[in-house]
Amino acid sequence: MSELRQPYRGLPFRPILSLTFRTRDGVRHSLSLLADTGCPQDLILAPKWFDALVLADAEGIENNFGPMNAGWFRLHMPEIGLVELVNGFGSLEVGEAIATELPGVAGLVGLPILRLGEYGGNATDFWFRSSPSTPTGSP
């Protein structure tokens, strides 16, 4: 079972997860994202990363952060068994709030992506690993 493990960042400690995405032309980008188990969206990115990585548009939403653009993204981490199309959102407000607290973090990853595997933490690290029973596609 492959595992990603990263130390917490910030004060108070916040769980960070690095995920890799592929653009339409095949370029891979690894992003540090705040792991938020209370977020019902797959992914919320700062506009810079939303625009760079979106493959196709989807229907946007309005929430407590205001309107958010939506689209489809290619999560591409075959080394841990995750090759998925995921629905994500772009939000300037979320991007700015996270960047203020955690410079270099591109957005957040929510519960739908975390549930594609197993996740947890200990006193120093947050970890994510693919689950042997997790079905993955090849988008």
Domain count, the chain: 1
pLDDT of residue 64: 85
Q: Which residues have a Cβ under 8 Å from the Cβ of 36 and sit 6 or more positions away?
A: 108, 109, 110, 111
The answer to whether the beta carbons of residues 60 and 89 sit under 8 Å apart is yes
Rounded distance, CA 139 to CA 123, Å?
36
Q: Please state the pTM of the whole predicted model.
A: 0.90
pLDDT, residue 133, reads 57
Q: Is 69 part of any domain?
A: yes
* Helices within 28-135 (DSSP H only): 47-53, 92-101, 111-114
For residue 48, tell me if it sits in a domain: yes
For residue 122 the two structure tokens come to 């200990």
Asked if residue 137 belongs to a domain, the reply is no
Q: What is the CATH number of the domain that holds 10?
A: 2.40.70.10
pLDDT at 138: 44
Reduced to 3 states (helix: H, G, I; strand: E, B; else coil), residue 66 is strand
Q: Which domain holds residue 9?
A: 3-130
45 inside domain: yes
Q: Is residue 72 part of a domain?
A: yes
Q: Does residue 116 lie within any of the structural domains?
A: yes
Asked, for residue 135, whether it belongs to a domain, the answer is no
Residue 139 lies in a domain: no
Q: Which residues pair with 74 in a beta bridge?
A: 22, 85
Instruction: Report pLDDT for 124.
Output: 96
pLDDT tens track, the chain, 139 positions? 588 999 999 999 999 999 999 999 999 999 999 999 999 999 999 999 999 999 999 999 998 888 999 999 999 999 888 999 999 999 999 999 999 999 999 999 999 999 999 999 999 999 999 876 544 454 4
